[in-house]
Structure 1
Amino acid sequence: MKQNREREPGYVLGGRYRICRLIGRGGMSRVYMAEDLKLTGKIWAVKETAADRELMGAWRAEAEMLSALNHPRLPRIVDFFDYSGEGNVYVVMDYIGGMTLEAYMRNNGGIVEGERVISFALQLLDVLDYLHSHKPSIIYRDLKPSNIMITPELELKLIDFGTARNYRTGSSQDTVKLGTVGFAAPEQYGGGQSDARSDLYGLGALMLYLGTGGRHSEWAPGVEEAIRSRQPRDLERVIRKLLKSDPGERYQTAKEVMHELRPLTVPPADQPVSAAEAKYSGTRVIALLGVSPGCGVTHTAIAISHYLARQGGRVAVAELNGRSQSFSRIQALLEGEERARAEGAKRFSFEGVQYCRQTSPEDIIPMLSGGFDFIVFDLGSGVDHDGLEEFLRADYPLVVGSGAEWRLPDTVTFAKALARYPQQMWGFCLPLATSEAARRLGKELGTGKVYALPLHLDPFEPWEEMDIALQALFKDVIPEPKRRKPLFASFRRW
């Protein structure tokens, strides 16, 4: 199929996305950097694909698959549409600054040292484990340098899901044979169905490619010498097992490979890595949206932010509810009324948390590149405002509802009002609710992610009961909480 002419800078797609420049191209696709005309300052990547009627289903399947995923190493889908008259379809997703891993190797003369190969592999295993654990499992099938973005902070992001597929139980082989020669597992060329082990083969091929300066991606005589010159001992053994032709002889899960690789990484003696830092994986966004005014969104956002900071994380909490004056009052108590009223003093820090009051949409992008482990968004309440988009894009979207028995149905009504959006990743927080109320609400909502939060008079201080509740909420994100004495008792006067 023939692609239409390349779009010029300034061209507006879908009445909303103004093209800045072309940032990538493939056989049937182009990717543009585009400015959002509705959300000032927002920059997206827009993938344009030429698609006839037969390919339309495949395009929609890719968009729907990605929109249901939520992981810091995957781009988030925020929109998709088509121009049926032109035969083009468009997917709007996170813009990821940086370059492809392929370009990174070129810029570094093809040399990637062993410790960095392992670091990159562990990052990719994190996202592969997430995809393979999805219900149904998602097999990526094309793990190659040009499909991986690397940010200036050396964080990897997996892009281009054009060949990904759901694993079909009971199927003996793939319907379509897709993948890149040199990186795809043997079963992707026929003779079997690709599964999680196929992606692990692709990871082994990628590690070999990185470890040999781009000279090899398949095992052959003499490869041992090429990889041993710059790689840690035992890395060769891991790569060889990943590249076994028989899937049954490879590692069977991403977790197995992580278990093998982690002992090979030893941090320098002068740069100890804390347990929290080992757990964090890039900047993760937690967005809190209230069912109704007064249900405790700001209080909960502050409590979560200080809890995360006490675990060793670098944390910012941003007030995206333009009507709120809560952060201004906090700043006035800390720094005085005059400072709080100053137009240029919208940021202040307290007990390891950076507060950003009355944050505008154009402030978000600098925050995301500010080196934080977590950014907590206080979005206020309601579904009919721009904060809803930030909620839907968040890594951890949390709905805050009233814990009062007679107001529990409000949370159900709220969830039904947003039923058109995927809700698998949502959590529901109920301040002052009983555990039984949370259990009943979870049953009605069809989720196990409903959390009763205890009375916590001072959200700036540690409180054992709240720490236990937040530990359950973030059990897959951070280590167990540390215990320490209260730090800011003066705020108990609130």
Structure 2
Amino acid sequence: MYALILTPARAEQVRKAVKEHGEVVFDQAGTMDSLGIRNALQSAARVAADALILDIDAGPGPDLVAAVQGYRISRPTVRVILLAPGREPGDATVASLVGLGVYDVISGPFRDDWGDLVAQALNRVPATYAQAARWHIMTGLTGEEQVKEKVVIEQRPVGVVTIAVAGAASGLGCTHTALAISAFLARQGHNVALVEDSQEPVMKDYLKIIKADAGRVNKARRIKRFDVFPFAKTEVDKFIEGDGNNFIFDELLPELSAGRYEYIVRDLGVADKKRTREAFRSNLAVLVASAARWRWGDLLKIEPLASFRLALVAPAEREVREIRRIPELKVYVMPHHPDPLCMPDEELAELLRPVLPQAKKKSSFWPWKRLWSNCD
């Protein structure tokens, strides 16, 4: 399935090419201003597409980059194919988009057959940073070419990382685990936001009781060096009264983009079908479950279970061994800790390993233990 944001000059050629490869689920053509390109990408983010084909001339360069960053927050795994007619390495807009993980860059003269160029790209596997690296340079005032943020891209996940936390059943500690993950990432010096999309929201009252400070951006409150966006029924009545497919996360895209967060943690509540689908929009999906045999039925309802990293809270050793015999399951043990904001770091670091910066994965755990002790 494909989403298209194109200029009129190339729209018809690209549409014909894409329809031979799959279904077009979002299509907008025009040369837009700042508000227009932002709204277009926000609308595209609400559609479950496999790839977004984006014309670089559809909006002003800096505004296009900011809008793509917001799209990346919502759809971090979608392949973005950038049409860049007439652009050459050193172009600031293309370099910025490559920095957001846009590696499929199609360039060429304006008069080329862009339908054919897109068809060739769709027949290839998605590009990697190695193929896009020549675009990730900017010409400085002296005329010398400089690689932009190359070290950062090689050592840490590109763009905003989203982590979804869901529970196999109610009361197992989904919110507790989401808070623990957020606090852990904040202790490592990252800019973190926690978004509450649970069926049984509790954060609004909790933040009021502890008198949390104002967050970095509108609608956010701040605790332990990270921002929390509590569920607020009055702002998303569609979630309550509509078809149930709207989430706070989608409503908050402008604020999440403005906050420039490195990690966004989503507390999804109990993993029903739509929340499981939301979890797989993220870079990492965590399922909080019980290891007790009489709760194994909760796991049978989750499909596909193997796509989650399974977090078992304070399980018995024997039960952990039995669950780990199930093929393809990725099982992690979370210790019981009454305060999620001070949970030990070792287990959380292992659970989050795929989305942690490489440089920090090599660090000793001793400083993390010292940080944890300061929570007491």
1:29 to 11, 18, 32: 18
Counterpart CA distance in 1 for 2:101 and 2:353 is 19
Partner residue in 2 for 1:318: 195
Partner residue in 2 for 1:469: 347
Deviations 1:434-473 (CA, angstroms, capped at 9, x unpaired): 45433421322x224111111112111253xxx1111111
Partner residue in 1 for 2:297: 410
TM-score (norm 1): 0.48
For 1:397, the aligned partner's letter is A
On the 8 A contact 1:288/1:378 being kept in 2, the answer is yes
Are the structure 2 counterparts of residues 440 and 361 from structure 1 closer, same or farther at C-alpha, using a change threshold of 3 Å? same
Are the structure 2 counterparts of residues 471 and 20 from structure 1 closer, same or farther at C-alpha, using a change threshold of 3 Å? closer
Counterpart CA distance in 1 for 2:165 and 2:182 is 11
Partner residue in 1 for 2:222: 349
Unaligned runs of 5+ in 1: 1-13, 49-71, 78-92, 128-142, 148-158, 166-195, 214-228, 233-263, 268-272, 490-494
Counterpart CA distance in 2 for 1:413 and 1:322 is 21
On the 8 A contact 2:190/2:262 being kept in 1, the answer is yes
Per the TM alignment, residue 433 of structure 1 is displaced from its structure 2 partner at its CA by: 1.3
Deviations 1:19-57 (CA, angstroms, capped at 9, x unpaired): 9975655252266347xxxx9996337689xxxxxxxxx
On the 8 A contact 1:33/1:43 being kept in 2, the answer is no
Q: Does residue 1:391 correspond to 2:279, yes or no?
A: yes
Counterpart CA distance in 1 for 2:163 and 2:206 is 23
Deviations 1:219-263 (CA, angstroms, capped at 9, x unpaired): xxxxxxxxxx7346xxxxxxxxxxxxxxxxxxxxxxxxxxxxxxx
Q: Does residue 1:286 correspond to 2:168, yes or no?
A: no
Partner residue in 2 for 1:381: 270
Please state whether the residue corresponding to 1:375 is helix, strand or coil.
strand
Partner residue in 2 for 1:53: none
Please state whether the residue corresponding to 1:371 is helix, strand or coil.
coil
For 1:427, the aligned partner's letter is R
For 2:333, the aligned partner's letter is A
Q: Does residue 1:303 correspond to 2:168, yes or no?
A: no
For 2:84, the aligned partner's letter is E
Counterpart CA distance in 1 for 2:120 and 2:250 is 27
1:145 to 91, 106, 109: 106
Partner residue in 2 for 1:460: 341
Please state whether the residue corresponding to 2:264 is helix, strand or coil.
strand
Deviations 1:391-430 (CA, angstroms, capped at 9, x unpaired): 1212111111123x23441343133xx24xxx55421111
Counterpart CA distance in 2 for 1:291 and 1:209 is 44
Counterpart CA distance in 2 for 1:160 and 1:488 is 55
Are the structure 2 counterparts of residues 111 and 289 from structure 1 closer, same or farther at C-alpha, using a change threshold of 3 Å? closer
TM-score (norm 2): 0.61
On the 8 A contact 1:102/1:145 being kept in 2, the answer is yes
On the 8 A contact 2:290/2:296 being kept in 1, the answer is no
Q: Does residue 1:112 correspond to 2:90, yes or no?
A: yes
For 1:319, the aligned partner's letter is E
For 1:43, the aligned partner's letter is R
Counterpart CA distance in 1 for 2:120 and 2:224 is 40
Counterpart CA distance in 2 for 1:457 and 1:203 is 45
Counterpart CA distance in 2 for 1:212 and 1:293 is 51
For 1:447, the aligned partner's letter is E
Alignment of 1:121-200 (within 5 A): 144-146=105-107, 162-164=122-124
Counterpart CA distance in 2 for 1:160 and 1:367 is 37
Please state whether the residue corresponding to 1:307 is helix, strand or coil.
helix
Are the structure 2 counterparts of residues 414 and 47 from structure 1 closer, same or farther at C-alpha, using a change threshold of 3 Å? closer
Counterpart CA distance in 1 for 2:206 and 2:192 is 20
Per the TM alignment, residue 477 of structure 1 is displaced from its structure 2 partner at its CA by: 2.2
For 1:430, the aligned partner's letter is L
Please state whether the residue corresponding to 1:387 is helix, strand or coil.
helix
Partner residue in 2 for 1:442: 324
Per the TM alignment, residue 351 of structure 1 is displaced from its structure 2 partner at its CA by: 1.6
Counterpart CA distance in 2 for 1:297 and 1:333 is 20
Please state whether the residue corresponding to 1:334 is helix, strand or coil.
coil
On the 8 A contact 1:302/1:317 being kept in 2, the answer is yes
Aligned residues: 296
Counterpart CA distance in 2 for 1:381 and 1:46 is 25
Per the TM alignment, residue 292 of structure 1 is displaced from its structure 2 partner at its CA by: 0.8
Identity %: 20
Are the structure 2 counterparts of residues 452 and 358 from structure 1 closer, same or farther at C-alpha, using a change threshold of 3 Å? same
Per the TM alignment, residue 475 of structure 1 is displaced from its structure 2 partner at its CA by: 1.9
Counterpart CA distance in 1 for 2:299 and 2:133 is 47
Partner residue in 2 for 1:176: none
Please state whether the residue corresponding to 2:221 is helix, strand or coil.
strand
1:330 to 207, 211, 230: 207
Deviations 1:94-145 (CA, angstroms, capped at 9, x unpaired): 8x7xx93625x74xxx46189x979959957xx8xxxxxxxxxxxxxxx543
Please state whether the residue corresponding to 1:294 is helix, strand or coil.
coil
Partner residue in 1 for 2:243: none
Counterpart CA distance in 2 for 1:312 and 1:212 is 28
Counterpart CA distance in 2 for 1:122 and 1:363 is 21
Please state whether the residue corresponding to 2:195 is helix, strand or coil.
strand
Counterpart CA distance in 1 for 2:153 and 2:84 is 31
Unaligned runs of 5+ in 2: 29-41, 52-71, 109-118, 233-247
Please state whether the residue corresponding to 1:380 is helix, strand or coil.
strand
- Higher Cα Rg, which structure: 1
Per the TM alignment, residue 367 of structure 1 is displaced from its structure 2 partner at its CA by: 4.7
Q: Does residue 1:426 correspond to 2:315, yes or no?
A: no
